[in-house]
Homo-oligomer: A and B are copies of this chain.
Amino acid sequence: MSAPPAAPSRREATKQANRAAILAAAREVFADLGYGAAGVRDIVRGTALASGTFYNYFPDKEAVFRALLEESVAEARALTRAARQAAGSLEDFVAGAYRAYFGFLAADPQLFDLVRRNAGTISTQFAEPSFGLSIAELEEDLRAAVAAGTIPEHDAAYMAAAMVGTAFEVGVRMVQRDPPDVAGATHFATELFLGGMGRLASRS
């Protein structure tokens, strides 16, 4: 995505591998111990590298955590947002975003574990690249859809919060089902919000 596509020289190859090993170990450790309790040594222990090597790749645990989030959470956000913005109808808006999101979750449950375990830390210390921003984006899209007449009037801040909270908790249940029930969860969330929006629009 960023490196020159040719030149898989031997040196470059180990470098990529080491970086990947650190990231993989870090994902495991952060999901397991939580960001706060984890240390650089815990991460290094999950690789075949020496402790000093870590610092050739990242300055500290915060940087690894950031890299982990940025490389993957951004993708989920972009995906759901694209689904929402491509939507022509209210049903598309809701169903498309949930389908994209739940599909992503099912495809990368480890990432979800990481985020779930560290949601509190992420929203207080790493607000930018993640969930807080997701909600802000959703809220923005909701307002735009209301202005365009796609969606009935409502409290966009609460609605965005409810949609994200639901996505999160229903997502937890979904990945636990075997097989991961993407269609069922999407259907459930979509009907819930379409029904809810309808009722909120008609009364008060």
Partner of A38, one of B36, B118, B166: B36
Say yes or no: A191-B170 contact (C-beta < 8 A), given A37-B36, A118-B120.
no
Say yes or no: A199-B194 contact (C-beta < 8 A), given A165-B167, A170-B162.
yes
Chain A 180-204 residues near chain B, CB threshold 8 A: 184-185, 187-189, 191-200, 203-204
- Interface check A155, CB cutoff 8 A: yes
- Interface check A157, CB cutoff 8 A: yes
> Chain A contact residues: over half helix, strand or loop, or mixed?
helix
A-B contact pairs, 19 of them (CB 8 A): A34-B35, A34-B36, A36-B38, A119-B120, A135-B169, A158-B173, A158-B174, A161-B166, A161-B170, A161-B173, A162-B169, A168-B169, A191-B196, A191-B199, A192-B192, A192-B199, A192-B200, A194-B196, A194-B199
Number of residues in A with C-beta < 8 Å to the partner?
A: 48
**Bound form: Cα–Cα A189–B193 in Å:** 11
Chain A 150-180 residues near chain B, CB threshold 8 A: 155, 157-159, 161-162, 164-170, 172-174
**Bound form: Cα–Cα A193–B192 in Å:** 7
Q: What B residues does A118 contact at CB under 8 A?
A: 120
**Bound form: Cα–Cα A97–B123 in Å:** 27
Q: What B residues does A196 contact at CB under 8 A?
A: 191-196, 199
Q: Top 6 A-B pairs ranked by shortest CB distance?
A: A195-B199, A36-B36, A36-B37, A165-B169, A165-B165, A192-B196
Smallest Cβ distance from A173 to chain B, in angstroms? 5
Q: Mark A21-61, 1 if CB is under 8 A from B, else 0.
A: 00000000000011111100000000000000000000000
